[in-house]
Chain A
Amino acid sequence: MTSREQPTSETDERLILETDGLTKRFGGLTAVDDVDFELPEGELRCLIGPNGAGKSTFLKLVTGAHSPTSGTVRFDGEDITGLEPHDRVRRGMSLKFQQISTYQALTVEQNLRVPTQRIRSGQEATDRVEELLDIIGLSDRRTERAGSLAHGDQQWLEIAMAMATDPKLLLLDEPTAGMTVEETQETGELIQDLVDEGVTILVVEHDINLVRQIADRVTVLHQGRIFTEGTVEEITADEDVKRIYLGKAAEGSA
């Protein structure tokens, strides 16, 4: 459809994540409704939508925290619908939670060690921890407890922890929540660096500025369904999207 999509079209496009008729009902409420979602390898996709659109539930269906009422989740070509969360992660998926989930009482180094050691051991693990410390600029604060770090540093630490398992797919749930404008900008750059390294990334985000900065394509969820999908320009120009999403946000802030 767009010029951007042309080179990787049809058959040679390898999907890292694919949902088929994915549905989740909580009693009478259908939080996620028949979602067919496709995420090609190497893409940076943003998932947006107003509160209650089903973004979090969708993410939980992907990670396995919820099991779907119907439909399937395929990851890297395999059906993972019936797998436990830890088994999904072991196949190469990683999640950064929305709320800060660093290990508060452990040191920065211990925090990084936990995810790193699952796939690396010995000197290799130590080297990787050093490398990650360096990337997020916390090398000289390694012995501090994670809980004593500033909010932005903790978010970065957590992104580094999510990267420590060398995922093929990185799920970021509102990675810049609570960050300053500059921190958000820097986080955007960090995320783009990760894409350049070949990681596929799905970002659930509220901050439209970050979405503008980083996204290849944007998927808009509304009332549990995919409302529309397209490039950032298309989405921000879409009057219907403005009505359901941006309009709502403006209302909320007013």
Chain B
Amino acid sequence: MTEDVTDESTGRIARVRDLLEGQNTLGNSTKFWYGFLVVVGVVFVYPLFTNPYILKVNTNYFIWILLALSLAVVWGYTGIFNFGQTAFFGVGGYTFGIVGITLIDVTGGTNVAIVAAVVVAAIASALLGYFMFYGEISGLYVAILTLAVALTGNLILTRTTNTTIGAAELGGNNGITGIPSLTLGAGPMSFKLGITVQYYLVAALLVATYLGLRILLNSYYGYVLLAIREDEDRTRMFGYDVRNLKLISFSLTASLAGFAGALYAAWGNFIDPSIMGLTLASLPIIWVTVGGRDTLIGPIVAAYALQSMSTKLSTVGSGYTNIFLGAVFVLVVLFFPDGLIPAIVNWWEDRKQGAAESDSRRSAEVDA
């Protein structure tokens, strides 16, 4: 009886692992999943040992990680160099702010605002993506165009002093203030989330996103995205509609960025045009490059590490953060062009292989 149950549950675990694992993502060993559970465990018991300020800061890092993951999929896996992912992050944030402020007194919650943020980011990115990919624009031109879109958005938003949409004052350079925090529940049953619950919610969303992307990348679509990155013509001649698939990847990841932007606006109760500026546009590129752009784990680690170091450096003095990030970026590109995590994995595998070889050599010597 008990054996049956364990058989069934191991069968289920094997099936789930089958979905999550594959050669398109790192971390397919049982050891990796134990490590994963430990990290998730630490994240979830962390609030018991720390203060609300630290939790608040960490929530922000988790939101950045969502942004980093969205770029890793579109750039690292699909090969679309979207330099303006923050444009959609900003679109999500602004939409959440506008809809949230306007509707909070009517609906009592932010559910509609969250959905609106994702939908608007999806539509905006689908429009831009349609013109780019069906207009056969590719390579560096995509980077230039997407960055131009972000910077244009930034310019427009700085000129919105005294402009109101709904009940929200856009506020030009000063941005939108008084954006509602996230709520759970619906209608009159909505309740505002405190710092700790918000931390848990964003952490859970992050874990779900990571696992969801792993399933996606190890499925049919993952292979197609990699194939498009490697050779569009070849992939088209296997019968794939490359333009359409690029459009899907572009707007799906932009929607994820828009979702992260909405979380960001709710997290700080505030958003301003600098979110679409040049500095912020380059941050995700740095995280993803440093961590390893064709991995998920790399951008996660790099976004967290670089952002927490940046926070520490910014207490030392202004300007150090950018110098530090710039230096790390240049060094990694020069010495580990595939990123740090792939470099560490390769080194580890070489060492293991080397150890195995010297072991067998030693045993061969003993035999002799």
Contacts and interface: CB of A to CB of B under 8 A. Distances in A.
Nearest to B224: A114
Interface in A87-108: 89-90, 94-95, 97, 101-107
A103 B227 contact: yes
A109 interface: yes
B231 interface: yes
B231 A89 contact: no
A21 interface: no
Given A101-B234, A103-B234, A105-B230, A90 B239 contact: yes
B66 interface: no
Contact of A114 (B238, B241, B242): B238
A105 B77 CA distance: 12
Nearest to B234: A101
B226 A101 contact: no
**Which 5 pairs between the two chains have the least Cβ-Cβ distance?**
A89-B239, A103-B230, A101-B234, A115-B238, A114-B227
Contact of A95 (B231, B237, B241): B237
A85 B236 contact: yes
B23 interface: yes
Interface string B236-266: 1111111000000000000000000000000
Contacts, number: 61
Contacts of A102: 234
A110 B242 CA distance: 18
B7 interface: no
A242 interface: no
12 contacts: A86-B236, A86-B237, A86-B239, A89-B238, A89-B239, A103-B226, A105-B230, A114-B235, A115-B238, A118-B240, A121-B220, A161-B238
B237 A63 contact: yes
Contacts of B224: 114
A165 B231 CA distance: 17
B230 A106 contact: yes
Contact of B239 (A104, A107, A143, A165): A165
A169 to B, nearest CB: 13
A113 interface: yes
A86 B23 contact: no
A85 B236 CA distance: 7
Interface residues of B, number: 19
Contacts of A86: 236-237, 239-242
Interface in B292-310: none
Given A103-B230, A114-B223, 19 more contacts: A84-B241, A85-B237, A86-B239, A89-B236, A89-B238, A90-B239, A94-B238, A101-B231, A101-B233, A101-B234, A103-B227, A104-B230, A107-B23, A109-B23, A113-B223, A114-B238, A115-B239, A118-B239, A161-B238
Interface in B1-33: 23-24
The interface centre, meaning the residue of B226, B231, B233, B238 with most chain A CB atoms within 10 A of its CB, is B238
A165 B238 contact: yes
A231 interface: no
Contact of B24 (A104, A110, A121): A110
A139 interface: no
A56 interface: no
Nearest to A171: B237
A114 to B, nearest CB: 4
A84 B240 CA distance: 10
Contacts of B24: 110
A223 interface: no
A53 B237 CA distance: 24
A118 B238 contact: yes
Contacts of B233: 65, 97, 101
Contacts of A90: 239
The interface centre, meaning the residue of A65, A102, A106 with most chain B CB atoms within 10 A of its CB, is A106
Contacts of A104: 230
A166 to B, nearest CB: 11
Contacts of B223: 110, 113-114, 117
B236 A106 contact: no
Contacts of A63: 237
Contacts of B227: 103, 106, 114
Nearest to A92: B239
Contacts of B234: 97, 101-103
Nearest to A167: B239
Contact of A110 (B226, B236, B239): B226
